[in-house]
Each structure stands twice: as structure tokens, then as C-alpha cells.
Amino acid sequence: MQRIEEIYWLRAYGCLAVFCFHLLDHLNQRLDTLATDLARIPTVLGTPIFIFISIFLFSMRYGRDIPAGFLSSRVKYVLVPYAVYGLAYSGAEFLRQRSANTDASLLEVLREYLLYAGWHGYFLIIAAQFYAFYWLYVRFDLGRWLPSTPWLAIGSLISMGWWGYWQWRSEFPPGYLHWIAPLGWLYLFFLALVLVQHFHAPPARRPAWLVRLAHPGWLVAMLGVVVLLSLPGWLAYSSKEVWVVPLFLLFTLWIMARLRSRPSPACGQAPQRVLLRHLPGPPDVLQPGRPARRRGTPAAPALCGDAGRRGPGGLHRLEPGRQPAPLGRADVRQAAQGGLSHSHYKPLQESGERDCRMAITGTHSFGATRHTNGR
């Protein structure tokens, strides 16, 4: 398969977006301003970029001729690492809790990490689902019932509806189950198929709607709307938001047309190295009697609290039986100065025995520190 320069550009952007998202997230914990909110807008595209790239490359390389052993190789290179790293993380978290003299259940920790995908490896489960869906799509010729062009529009509406549903929910499923559900990422699958279908066609032979939406004016207009909605503080910033779907569609259509066959720079591998150096290691495994390493106070509004009601924000800790009360900007300032108290959490109802994700400060509770704030 020929080298596709646009993908190298996208990968470089995705690596920098993931890195900058977490950098700005840590900054936002201490400096909650409109400037930091606006700076996070271009960083929310990181996770969707990598899902899109994987589907695009599979479709471009294999087309309708999927090789034998396709699924088994995906299990080997995706699910096996997920299980291995998940076991390592859950084992480390179990030892940390035991060393802190807390009642730790190994089965509960394993369930949180491996079954509920409650750590930053959740991305691997998303990818694995779309690998399987791609195999089914080609193997059973699902394109007859799910043509890529109309289903790009339908899938986008489904994804927006999915994230919109969770935007107004005050309770979430255990772990990251609502994140890994494929409904929220369905638009990426059909976008990749559409772009592969018309990749080799000259601009004059591409669908008119595809050429029009690739015009930068649409992207600028969408960014203008997002900025305007950010001014009164109406938006949360993660890849799991309603507004990210149209923004990503317009961004990808523009960049795939703009950078067509434009050689990527020689330093194109640098962003990937930055990302790899940035990725967190396993949770702290403590020696007996050694205190936990203190981490930064997660006080950004996009970490649960009020942002959690508007959309799935960053999830750093778990604490059974409690859920966050809304956080305002005054609370954020208080947290930046000295931390929030437990008065910001209230018990869950008896009927909802769930592990609610929340941002807590200073104190440890069940669950490992998770460095994925909803990229």
C-alpha cells in the first residue's frame, strides 16, 4: 500500500492533541480561565483521530479482501495487551489499597479494570469492537443495508444522541462502559469508509457535498459556534461531547483535502515520541508503610462535578456509594487554594449501587488514579 501522507499528518496532530489535552487539564486544575478552556478545543480531537486512522487504514489496505486470521491477529495485538496491562494495573491498585490498610477486594478491582474498562486502556476495547465490526461489514456484505454515505449522516446523529443522553445523566455505568460503547464512535467508522471510497477519485468526480464540506469556511464557522458557546461556560471539553462530532467531521474532511499528497515533515515521528513519554505508568505499588505519592489536586470543572452533568468529563478516582455534587467556579478556586471537602459528595440512592466517578482531592478511595480525562 502506498504511503498516505495525510494519515501521517493526522497521527502527528493526534499525538500532540492527546499530550496537550492532559497538559492543559493539569493547568486547568490550578488556573481556570476562559483562555485555558478555549485552548482545549483543538485537543479534544485526539482520541477520535486514532480510531478513524485505524479504520481508514484497514479499509484502504484490505478493501473487500480481508485476509485469513484477521480477527485472531487483532486479538493478539489488541486484546492480549489489554488483558496483560489491565492485570498489572489492577494488581498494583490492589497492593496499594492493602498497603494503605483499606478493605480491598481483588475480585472487585479486577472487575473494575478488566470488565468495566475503568482505566485508560479503554481505547483498546473501542478499537477491538470496530475491528470486529469491519470484519462483519465486509464478510457479510453489510454495505447493501448500511451504505456508507447515508449512514455517515445517520451514524453522526446516533453518536450525537448517545453523548447527548449522557450529557444530562447524573449517574453513569461502572467504569468507562458508556465510553467504550460503539454508538458514540459510529460516525468515525462510516467517515473512514466514505473517504476511502472516494480517495483516488479526482476532485471533479467526488460528490458535491464532500467537496463543499471540505471547504475551510465550514470548519471556521463551526469553531466560531463552539467559541461562542464557550464564553458563558456552557461546554465541557472532552472527545465525548455532542459538539465534537460535527467538529471532527469538518476538520477531517478539510485536512484530508488540504494535505492530500503533501509530504509529512521529517520530524513527523517526534509527536509520537512525546506521547509515549507522556503516557502514565501503572499505579503506585507501595512498599509496606510507604505513603502514596501525592498527585495534583483535580479541581478542573471538566472533571465531573458540574461538567460531569453536562457530559462525561475526566474520571480520576472511584468511590463506592458516593456521587459528586455540582462544582462551581468558586469551588474550583477553593480547590486550587486548599482542596474540596467531602461535603461535595452525597450518598447514592439504595437502588443505584454503582461506582460513581468523581474528582476527589487529597484523600484516597477505591480505584486507581486514571490519567484519562476524556481525551
Please name the residues in contact with 344: beta carbons below 8 A apart, sequence gap of 6 or more. Answer: 305, 324, 325, 327, 331
The pLDDT tens digits of the residues spanning 60-79 come to: 999 889 999 999 999 999 99
Looking at per-residue confidence, does 363 or 192 come out higher? 192
Q: Residue 104 — very low, low, confident or very high, per pLDDT cuts 50/70/90?
A: confident
Would the pLDDT of 225 be above 80? yes
- Domain assignment present for residue 118? The answer is yes
Full residue range of the structural domain in which residue 24 is found: 5-278
Asked if residue 201 belongs to a domain, the reply is: yes
The alpha-carbon radius of gyration of the chain (Å, integer) is: 21
Dihedral angle sign, alpha carbons of residues 89, 94, 96, 97 = positive
Q: Is residue 353 part of a domain?
A: no
Q: Is residue 342 part of a domain?
A: no
pLDDT band at 291; cut points 50, 70, 90: very low
- Would the pTM count as exceeding 0.85? no
Q: Is the pLDDT of residue 154 over 90?
A: yes
C-beta of residue 231 within 8 angstroms of C-beta of residue 34: yes
Question: Which of 94, 93, 2, 33 lies closest to 233, judged by CA?
Answer: 33
- Kindly give the residue spans of alpha helices, DSSP state H, lying in the chain: 5-28, 34-40, 46-62, 70-74, 80-99, 106-110, 122-139, 148-167, 177-180, 186-197, 208-213, 216-230, 244-258, 270-278, 305-310, 329-337
pLDDT given at position 122: 93
Do the bridges between strand 355-358 and strand 345-347 make them parallel or antiparallel, or are there none, so unpaired?
A: unpaired
Average pLDDT, the chain: 77
- The mean per-residue pLDDT over the stretch 54-65 comes to 92
Compute the average pLDDT of residues 237-257.
Answer: 96
The answer to the question of residue 155 being in a domain is yes
- Residue 264, in any domain of the structure: yes
Amino acid found at 269: Q
As a whole number, mean pLDDT of residues 242-263 equals 93
How many folded domains does the chain comprise?
1
pLDDT of residue 289 exceeding 80:
no
pLDDT in tens, 346-369: 333 333 333 333 332 333 333 333
Question: Has residue 340 been placed in a domain?
Answer: no
- Residue 106 belongs to some domain of the structure: yes
- The DSSP call for residue 358 is E
31: pLDDT confidence band, cut at 50, 70 and 90? confident
| Cell (9 digits) for 292 | 502514596
Grid coordinates standing for 375? 481525551
What is the model's pLDDT at position 267?
53
| Residue whose cell numbers read 507522556 | 278
pLDDT in tens, 304-363: 333 333 333 333 333 333 333 344 444 444 444 444 333 333 333 333 333 333 332 333
H/E stretch holding 310:
helix 305-310
Contacts of 148 (CB under 8 A, 6+ apart): 190, 193, 194, 197
